[in-house]
Amino acid sequence: MSYKEVPSGSVLQWIKETFEGKEVKDSRSPAGNWLGFTLEEIQRGSASLLVTVRHDMTNPYGNIHGGMMSLVIDEAIGWSVVSLDSAQHYTSMSLNVDFLYAIKEGEQMRAVSKVLRAGKKIINVECHVYDMKGLVLARANSNLIVTHMEFVK
């Protein structure tokens, strides 16, 4: 069953059955599919992703590139918003990231996002990225705005 065929009200359960605990390769997000992350856990309003830093994600110093860290964060935020099973679609209006520590190629990180407020038009979400020892590598917050855009096929 494709995402479009999922009955309303059961999207979160379908996501859990289809993606949770697995590497995501077939979501609506081509950029997210490229990341090759594992959807570690998803609950209503929150998501946790595991990502291994690959060579093509690094800067000249062998650490994750800031843009790639932002992509990981944005992807985690997107999954926490999708878990709300809203009839509306949302897109990022802002993404504020604090880069606190670097992580090297070959290392794994965990991005944990949580919806703080889901209003009628704007959703506010926070995300923290950790190394596997629990050190906070980055923290971010984002506002997403309701849109009437259709998904690209």
Per-residue pLDDT for the chain (153 aa), expressed as one digit of tens each? 345 555 555 789 999 999 999 999 999 899 999 999 999 999 999 999 999 999 999 999 999 999 999 999 999 999 999 999 888 889 999 999 999 999 999 999 999 999 999 998 999 999 999 999 999 999 999 999 999 776 565
pLDDT at residue 151, rounded to an integer: 59
Q: What are the residue ranges spanned by the domains of the chain?
A: 3-147
* Residues 51, 35: Cα–Cα separation, whole Å: 7
pLDDT at residue 100, rounded to an integer: 98
Cβ-proximal residues to 119 (8 Å cutoff; 6+ apart), any chain: none
| Beta-carbon count within 10 A of 19 CB | 19
Q: Note the Cα 107 to chain centre separation in Å.
A: 18
Report the CATH number of the 3-147 domain.
Answer: 3.10.129.10
* Residues 118, 131: Cα–Cα separation, whole Å: 28
Cβ-proximal residues to 140 (8 Å cutoff; 6+ apart), any chain: 70, 73, 77, 95, 96, 97, 98, 126, 127, 128, 129
pLDDT at residue 109, rounded to an integer: 98
